[in-house]
Chain A
C-alpha cells in the first residue's frame, strides 16, 4: 500500500510538472497574453488571454483523456490498453521527431481566438497524449485499491480522475505561463521575450517517447 501511495504521489507530481513544462514553453502561448495586455493597454487583458489559452488547453487534454477513461472499464484488457496507449504516445513522439514542420492550419486561426488556437496547438503537438500514460497509471492504482468494483463505478471514478488530471495539469500550466508572462510584462520587458524562447521541439518529441516508454513499462511491471 505504501508503494502504491508513493506511485500515485509521483504520478500526480508528473501531472503538475508536465503542466509547468507546457506552460513555460512560449510556443504554448504565454507571449500572446503579454501581447494582449500591451495591445489593449489594459492589465486585465492578460488574465483574460491566459484564461482563453487555459480553456483551449483544458479541452484538448480532456478530449484525449476521456476516451481512455471510458475504455479502461474493460478491466481484463487493462494491460493491453496501457501498452497500446504507450505505443501511441511513442509513435507521436517519433512522428514529431521526423516531421519537424509546424502544422499550417494554426496560421489560419484569427489572432483573437486564443482558445481555439490553444486547443489546436495542444492537439497538434500531442500535449494531451503526453498525459495519457500518467493518467492510466493513476487509474490503475485506483482500480487496485477499489478491488474489483463494478465496471460502472470504476468508469465513473476514472472520468472524474480524467477531469482532475486535465484540470491540475492545465492549472499548473497556466500558473507557469502566467508567471513568466507577468514578469516579462511588469519588469523585464519585451526584449526578454526572445531571450527566454528555446527551441524545445526535439526535447518535446523525446519527452513523448520517454513518457510513452514509461507507460509501456509500467503496464508490464504492474503500475
Chain B
C-alpha cells in the first residue's frame, strides 16, 4: 500500500499520454513444444542506452509447458475512482497465466532488472475455485483482478462454459466465478469495459479442442468458432445482450473500447470471413435507445497466391488470408492498429470517425509466401501479431508468434521470436525503426508485450480527456 496513488495511475487517457515515456517492455517468451521453461523478457526501451533494444533481464519459471500468451497488471489507472477503493495499490505485479497448464504466476517487477516470481497459483486451485481452465486475458477493475478463461472444467475444458473469474488484487487469492447470468455466452476470449458507464464486452475464440492442437479446418469451414460478442452489466455481472456478427465471421477476438469513458463505442477484430477469406473489423456502439449495434467498418482482402507457395492448410484456397489476429487502439482513440498475421502487414487506420476508418499507414513484414525482411536485413518469422502502442502514441511495438500450434500450421518453415518497433508519423503513417529488433533466445517464441507504467491495452480510465 502506498501513501499516495501510484504515479503511473492517470485520471484520464490524455494525462496518461502526457506522462513520462516507457523505459522497459515486458514480453512473453514461450517454448512452443514445452521443451524449455517459459518466461518474461525485460527489454530496454530507453533510447541512447547501451542496452537499447536488448533483453536485459529474464524471469524464467521453474515449470515447463505453461505456454504463456497474454498477461496484465495487478492494478492500473482504474484505481483512481473512489468507487473501487483501491487508490493506494501499487502497479507492481504482472499476472501471467499459462494457457496450456492453467498455472498462474504473479511476477514482481517493481525493479524491472530484478523482476522475480512473487507467487504461483497451481492449476488445481484454478479448477477447484472457478470451474474454469486456460486463463488468458487479465484486467484490473472494480472488484479486483478479472481473468478470462478459454476453457471450462474437465480434461479438455469442455465440461461447462468458460468465463471470467475474479482474483483479490492484494493477496492474489482466487475469489470465484464472475458471471451471475451469462445468457448465451458459451465460448470466451477477450473482454474489456467502460467503468463509469458500467458495461463490459466479451468475445469468443473457440473451445480448447478447437485450438490446442491447431486450427481445426472442418470446424472453421463449418463456422463453428466464435462469431458473437456479449455485452454485460459490469457490476451486476449479467449478460444484457449477445450480438451475433454472422456465422461466417469466424473468431471475433480482440475487444477495444474507446479509452475516453464518455464514448460508448469500440472495435472488435474478426480473424476471417469464411465466405471470402477477408479479415474484418466491426465497430460496435450503443444507440440512443440503449441497444448495442454493430457494423463492419473495415475489410481487408486476401492476396491470391500459387498453391505451391502456400502451406498445405491454405493450398486449396490459392490465397493468403489477412488473418486479423490482434488490434490495438491508441489512447487518444485516433489510430487503430490491425495486425494482419497472414499477409505479413501492420495496418494503421485513422478511426477519428469510428464509423468510417481510413487507412493511414502500413508496414509489410514477414507474411505467408512473402517473408518481407526487416529494414535491418534480418528475417522476421511468421507475421506481425501482438501489437502494443506506447502511451504517447508515437511508437508501436509488436511480436510475431500467434500460438504455438497455429504458427506451425500457417508457417511450417518458420521458427523464432522477434519484437520490432515502428515510429508513428506526425500526421499518421508508420515506419519500421531500423535500430529496434529484438531476437528472442533460441527455441523461444514471443507473444504479448506490456509496457512499464501501462500501455494502450491495460489501463481503464474513470475520467474523460478534457
**Which chain A residues have a beta carbon within 8 Å of chain B's beta carbons?**
26-32, 34-35, 38-39, 41, 100-104, 106-112, 117, 121, 189-191, 193-195, 197-199, 201
Contact = CB atoms under 8 A, between A and B. Distances in A.
B466 to A, nearest CB: 6
Contacts of B464: 38-39
Contact of A26 (B82, B198, B235, B261): B82
Given A31-B82, A199-B2, A190 B198 contact: no
Contact of B4 (A102, A117, A199): A199
Interface stretch (B5-13, B321-329, B336-344, B419-427): B5-13
Contacts of A27: 82, 85, 87
Contacts of A107: 83-85, 142-144, 235
Contacts of B197: 111
Question: What 10 A-B pairs come out closest when comparing CB atoms?
Answer: A102-B85, A190-B11, A107-B142, A194-B5, A107-B143, A199-B3, A199-B88, A38-B464, A193-B11, A197-B5
B23 to A, nearest CB: 20
Contact of A35 (B3, B5, B86, B196): B196
Nearest to B6: A194
B266 to A, nearest CB: 17
Q: Which of B80, B83, B84, B144 has the most CB of A within 10 A?
A: B83
Interface of B: 1-5, 7, 9-12, 15, 80-88, 142-144, 170, 195-198, 235-236, 261-262, 462-464, 466
A193 B3 contact: no
B314 to A, nearest CB: 47
A109 B235 contact: yes
A195 B6 CA distance: 10
A190 B84 contact: no
Nearest to A108: B235
B235 A110 contact: yes
24 contacts: A30-B82, A31-B80, A31-B81, A32-B81, A38-B463, A38-B464, A38-B466, A39-B463, A41-B262, A102-B84, A102-B86, A107-B83, A107-B85, A109-B83, A111-B195, A111-B196, A111-B197, A190-B11, A191-B15, A194-B5, A194-B80, A197-B5, A198-B4, A199-B88
B85 A197 contact: no
Given A39-B464, A41-B262, A107-B235, A194 B82 contact: no
Contacts of A32: 81-83
Given A106-B85, A199-B2, A193 B80 contact: yes
Of A26, A28, A121, A194, chain B has the most CB atoms within 10 Å of the CB of A194
A26 B11 contact: no
Contacts of B462: 35
Nearest to B19: A191
Contact of A190 (B142, B196, B235, B463): B463
A190 B88 contact: no
Contacts of A195: 4
The A interface, classified by DSSP as helix, strand, loop or mixed, is helix
Nearest to B169: A102
Contacts of A104: 143-144
A34 B4 contact: no
A29 B466 contact: no
Name the residue among B11, B197, B462 with the largest chain A CB count within 10 angstroms: B11
B176 to A, nearest CB: 12
A167 to B, nearest CB: 23
Nearest to B18: A191
A110 B195 CA distance: 10
Interface centre among A30, A34, A103, A197 (most CB of B within 10 A): A197
Contacts of A109: 83, 235
B15 A190 contact: yes
A8 to B, nearest CB: 34
Nearest to B262: A39
Contacts of B80: 31, 193-194, 197
B82 A190 contact: no
Contact of A117 (B2, B83, B144): B83
